Amino acid sequence: MGKLDLITIVIIAANVIISYKGFNDYAFFEKYKFNVGGIQRGEKIRFFSAGFLHVDMQHLLFNMVSLYFFAGSVASALGVVGFLAVYIGSLMFGNLLSLYFHKNEYHYSAVGASGAVSGIIYSAILFRPDMSLYMFMIPIPIPAYLFGIGYLLYSIYGMKNRIGNIGHDAHFGGAIGGYVITLMLVPAIFQTNLLMVVLLALPIVLLFVMKKWVKSNNC
């Protein structure tokens, strides 16, 4: 874990360069962020480009550190093509889910690699359920699956409180994408890690239930 494969370096570099451009160029940020109105006008590039923009340096750092911790396991298991299938597929699925939830909110906007990173996290945990993380200020290892579940639960808080332009809906949309794509590419996981397949499905179901509850309370 925490291995810097070439593909990980390329993706992190792309996120840093494009996000930095967005930090300093308001017109660029507005043109390429996820925006329901823009997408409904036919600007489909926003589905993809929004995944490389971030609100600020903290947002960018959190996503890239999370990607760094988990990307190596996925790249080693699936190779470059498989890794890109999970990363890009999760990014797109997360934004499609955001569009589904907010299709009637013309001005809804969001940015971030969160969907893609969530997909990579879920994919990595399916391959390496034994992984552990050492986080700052916490002297004991944290099971990776707990980090992944917590990462998604934070999205509910973000959705409920509408924190920034961050694509919180895309967090668990991306997780679903990474989960499904990985199982499609390597169905043998059902036999080798069935318990983790079931455990990771539970928060996805829970998050959908909570999302409906959040929407009903915001109506």
Phi, psi dihedrals of residue 113, rounded to the nearest 5°: -85, 10
The DSSP H or E segment spanning 78 is helix 57-102
Residue 152 clears pLDDT 80, i.e. is over it: no
Q: Taking CA 22 as the corner, what is the angle to CA 158 and CA 168, rounded to the nearest 5 degrees? A: 15
Nearest to 183 by CA among 82, 98, 97: 82
Q: Is the pLDDT of residue 150 over 80?
A: no
Architecture of 6-212 per CATH?
Up-down Bundle (1.20)
Give every CB contact of residue 190 below 8 A, 6+ residues apart in sequence: 183, 197
Tokens 């890794």 found at: 83
- Binned at pLDDT 50, 70 and 90, residue 27 comes out as very high
At residue 215, does pLDDT exceed 70? Answer: no
pLDDT of residue 91: 96
Q: Does 81 score more than 80 pLDDT?
A: yes
- Which range, 82-86, 130-134, 149-153, 215-219, is most confident? 82-86
So what's the pLDDT on residue 204?
74
Please report, in angstroms and rounded to a whole number, the separation of the first and last CA atoms in the chain.
43
Contacts of 25 (CB under 8 A, 6+ apart): none
- Which of 32-46, 76-90, 137-151 has the lowest average pLDDT? 137-151
Which of 11-20, 98-107, 130-139, 186-195 shows the lowest per-residue confidence on average (mean pLDDT)?
130-139
Helix (H, G, I), strand (E, B) or coil at 30: helix
Q: Is the pLDDT of residue 43 over 90?
A: yes
User: Percentage of residues in the chain with pLDDT exceeding 70?
Assistant: 83
- Segments making up each domain of the chain, as ranges: 6-212
**pLDDT per residue over 160-177, tens digit each?**
666 655 666 788 789 899
Distance CA 215, CA 219 (A): 6
Pick the range with the lowest mean pLDDT from 92-106, 136-150, 180-194: 136-150
